[in-house]
Amino acid sequence: MTIRVLLADDHESFRARFRSALETQADLECVADVGDGRAAVAEIVRLRPDVAVLDVRMPGMDGLAAAEAVLSRGDEVKVVFLTTYDDDDSYVYRALRAGASGFCLKSMPVGELFGAIRVAARGDALIDPSVTRRLVSRFTAEAAPVPRSRQLNRLTAREREVLLEVARGHSNAEIAVRLFVGEQTVKTHVSHVLTKLGLRDRVQAAIYAYKNALI
């Protein structure tokens, strides 16, 4: 299956490099690249891509506002954000609440960015570990922990281990290696964790783990 991707970034040179690199991937297709959030919303509505890769900061309507506009409509597009170390973490948290599927640093290798796009297209979520740490540190500093002992008691010992690994930003493949189990087994455990804790995706699971002082 070909994953249809839309890119929104105000740097034309970055868009050109992204599109050129993406064209080398047999399973990825760039259906449009635009320079601001307003154009991104219009093209997402028109083209219905599988994944929208949005720069957090753009002139006019930024990536955050674009994501909120699209996701509030109930569109099935998955949103992956591009961010930098100096981005305000409150932007990231707002986008997370809106339903974003991932956050990637612009400095990351393009192959890893393509991997994040594939993860998002599968309906999962992935955020760079450094972004996770900064985001969760801010969140936990501002929000008082909510006791959830009954929910946590629903998890098996292995499911707790998997939850901790997810919170550290590891992929299913990485968790499988660290816990000496199969990747499909990890996927099953992650599914059970999300269901038992009433969480939407891995991103919410990471926040849950930090908020409840599991890490």
pLDDT of residue 1: 81
Q: Are residues 97 and 201 in the same domain?
A: no
Number of alpha carbons in the 13 Å side-chain half-sphere of residue 92:
28
pLDDT of residue 122: 86
**pLDDT tens-digit readout, 128-163:** 766 666 666 665 555 555 555 577 888 999 999 999
d(CA 4, CA 157): 39
pLDDT of residue 214: 78
**Domain enclosing residue 61, as ranges:** 3-128
pLDDT of residue 32: 94
Domain count, the chain: 2
In a domain? residue 134: no
pLDDT in tens, the chain (215 residues): 899 999 999 999 999 999 999 989 999 999 999 999 999 999 999 999 999 999 988 888 888 899 888 888 777 899 998 877 655 566 667 777 777 888 888 888 888 889 889 988 988 777 776 666 666 666 555 555 555 557 788 899 999 999 999 888 788 888 999 999 999 999 999 999 999 998 878 878 887 887 787 76
Q: Are residues 20 and 121 in the same domain?
A: yes
Q: Are residues 119 and 151 in the same domain?
A: no
d(CA 195, CA 38): 35
In a domain? residue 136: no
**Residue 130 CB neighbours (<10 A):** 13
pLDDT of residue 100: 80
Q: Are residues 32 and 72 in the same domain?
A: yes
Residue 54 and residue 40 in contact, taking contact as beta carbons nearer than 8 Å: yes
Q: Are residues 88 and 164 in the same domain?
A: no
- DSSP secondary structure of 128-140: -HHHHHHHHHHHH
Q: What is the CATH number of the domain that holds 117?
A: 3.40.50.2300
3-state secondary structure of 107: coil
In a domain? residue 135: no
Q: Given 102, 128, 154, which residue is the final one in a domain?
A: 128
β-sheet bridge partners, residue 79: 52
Q: What is the CATH number of the domain that holds 155?
A: 1.10.10.10
In a domain? residue 169: yes
Q: Given 128, 155, 172, which residue is the final one in a domain?
A: 128
Q: Are residues 115 and 149 in the same domain?
A: no
Indicate the pairing of strand 78-83 with strand 28-34. Answer: unpaired
